[in-house]
């Protein structure tokens, strides 16, 4: 087992840091969370993180100042998080040595891509998830998240969801799903597919108030 990459999340909004932690751990990163600027600077100087996600508006020491002091000693990759209208911070951040910046609210997929880019130097690559809107499915970890919330699935439910996401936006017949997910040797009728689609809907669509698993009458199912 290779070491997972470590990320320091510096963010004082608990909802955002919790969301980031779930998404990053889902991608096999190890996360440390810090909600205070001064504390974050000490952590970043003491330990060698592979990357730091740094909010700008923070208690005790703002993100720009944390970065400025960090850069006097270390070149740990830093991605700055700014609120939509903080253009000044963005410019200042890049000027004093941020590697990248993201504007809140951000698309997690884009942030993950930038994290991969800036942690590339380390030896191994992260297993990447498949996305369908706010749903992400990680084939290696066999986990699914919806908008940062874990979706608890049985083995078959996961297999079915993974197949649908791998073929997102494509209508798949019950017969194909039965063959691909249950196997050609499965004895039974296609009703089992409908039953499992219902399970998935109750755990995703109904739970999060969305309609991503859709029935196409006479044809089958599609996720979009």
Residues interacting with Ca ion, by CB under 5 A?
12, 55, 57
Nearer to Ca ion, 111 or 204 (CB): 111
Q: Which residues of 52-90 are buried (b: 16+ CB within 10 A; e: fewer)?
A: bbbbbbbeebbbbbbbbbbeeeeebbbbbbbeeebeebb
Nearest distance, CB of residue 57 and Ca ion, angstroms: 4
Nearer to Ca ion, 10 or 151 (CB): 10
In the sheet that holds 135-138, the strands lie side by side as: 130-132, 135-138, 143-146, 149-151
What sign has the CA pseudo-torsion 163, 166, 169, 170? Answer: negative
Nearer to Ca ion, 35 or 130 (CB): 35
Nearer to Ca ion, 50 or 55 (CB): 55
Task: Give me the half-sphere count of Cα atoms (radius 13 Å) on the Cβ side of residue 166.
Answer: 11
Nearer to Ca ion, 12 or 100 (CB): 12
Nearest distance, CB of residue 165 and Ca ion, angstroms: 33
Residue nearest to Ca ion (CB): 57
Q: What angle do CA 139, 106, 102 make, to 5 degrees?
A: 110
Nearest distance, CB of residue 12 and Ca ion, angstroms: 5
Nearest distance, CB of residue 81 and Ca ion, angstroms: 8
The total number of residues written for the chain in this structure: 224
Nearest distance, CB of residue 58 and Ca ion, angstroms: 6
CB contact set of 87 (below 8 Å; sequence gap of 6+): none
């Amino acid at each position: 087992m290779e070491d997972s990459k470590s990320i320091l999340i510096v963010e004082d909004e608990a909802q955002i840091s919790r969301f980031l932690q779930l998404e990053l751990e889902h991608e096999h990163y190890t996360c440390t969370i810090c909600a205070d600027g001064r504390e974050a600077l000490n952590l970043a100087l003491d330990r060698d993180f592979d990357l730091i996600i740094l909010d700008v508006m923070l208690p005790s020491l703002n993100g720009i100042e944390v970065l400025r002091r960090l850069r006097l000693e270390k070149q740990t990759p830093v991605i700055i998080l700014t609120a939509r209208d903080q253009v000044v911070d963005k410019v200042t951040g890049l000027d004093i040595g941020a590697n990248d910046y993201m504007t809140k609210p951000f698309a997690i997929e884009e942030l993950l891509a930038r994290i991969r880019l800036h942690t590339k130097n380390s030896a191994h690559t992260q297993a990447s998830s498949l996305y369908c809107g706010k749903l992400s499915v990680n084939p290696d970890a066999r986990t699914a998240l919806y908008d940062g919330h874990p979706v608890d699935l049985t083995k078959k439910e996961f297999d079915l969801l993974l197949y649908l996401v791998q073929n997102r936006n494509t209508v798949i017949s019950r017969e194909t799903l039965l063959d691909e997910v249950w196997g050609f040797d499965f004895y039974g009728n296609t009703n089992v597919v409908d039953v499992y689609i219902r399970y998935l809907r109750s755990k995703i669509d109904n739970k999060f108030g969305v309609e991503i698993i859709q029935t196409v009458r006479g044809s089958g199912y599609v996720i979009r």
